[in-house]
Amino acid sequence: MHLCARVVDLGCGSGKLLKRLLAETQFTEILGLDVSIGDLEMAAKRLRLETIPERQRIKLIQGALTYRDKRIAGFDGASLVEVIEHVDPDRLVAVERVVFEMARPGVIVVTTPNIEYNAKFESMKPGQLRHPDHRFEWTRAEFAAWATRVSEAFGYMATNSPLGPEDARLGAASQMAVFEMFA
Ligand code: SAH
């Protein structure tokens, strides 16, 4: 397992994970990136960025994961929590290269909804996605296949696991892949 001290939350949104990371002293440098200024403002509020004594440890920046960005290179760990499904499928390859090839952190945690679990949500119509901005949602097999392909392409090893209570047939509501760079 890589030691994570410098971490970047890619698509940090309103900063829920950043707040948890800040509470852990193991993380000496925390960066949050999002394309949405509105979300970054919410994150700054949630974290009370102006006033907290830990403000030297954390920074928020605006950026798009579809474009190469030197500011996100060289971190020990990166997370994309419920972010990839917001990216157009034909732009996803750009995000893969920006994160896995150019930013290239030691560990990358990716989570995304498990579409199989949607059958449990009675209010959803067949074929409907969970959020109007979702461009796709994947089955567990689709996500595992993506994780394998990306690992092989960029020299990582992926482990997939369910997130949340599991239904025997449908799995959990969300799913996670942890990518570790080959030494
Ligand atoms: N990770 C957060 C937010 C998830 S919502 C959480 O779990 O709460 C998805 C986020 O991804 C949104 O904040 C959206 O602005 C951001 N996002 C979508 N496409 C992006 C892109 N191409 N580059 C950077 N951020 C992006």
**DSSP notation for 98-117:** IIIIII--SEEEEEEEBGGG
State in Å: Cα 149 to ligand 1 middle: 23
What is the residue-level pLDDT of the chain in tens, covering all 183 positions?
A: 557 999 999 999 999 999 999 999 999 999 999 999 999 999 999 999 988 888 889 999 999 999 999 999 999 999 999 999 999 999 999 999 999 999 999 999 999 999 999 999 999 998 899 999 999 999 999 999 999 999 999 999 999 999 999 999 999 999 999 999 986
Amino acid at the residue 104: R
Q: How far from each other are the two terminal CA atoms of the chain, in whole angstroms?
A: 10
Token output for 92? 């996803």
Q: What are phi and psi of 104, to 5 degrees?
A: 50, 55
State in Å: Cα 109 to ligand 1 middle: 14
Q: From the alpha carbon of 82, which atom of ligand 1 is closest?
A: 4
Q: From the alpha carbon of 87, which atom of ligand 1 is closest?
A: 19
CA distance 119 to 40: 33
- Mutate which of 10, 31, 34 for ligand 1 pocket (most atoms within 8 A of beta carbon): 34
State in Å: Cα 61 to ligand 1 middle: 13
Q: Which of 141, 146, 138, 140 is nearest to 108 (CA)?
A: 146
Asked if residue 36 has its Cβ within 6 Å of ligand 1, the reply is yes
State in Å: Cα 11 to ligand 1 middle: 4
State in Å: Cα 166 to ligand 1 middle: 25
Confidence (pTM): 0.97
Smallest CA separation from ligand 1 atom 12, residue: 13
Token output for 132? 């109007």
Alpha-carbon Rg for the chain, nearest whole angstrom, is 16
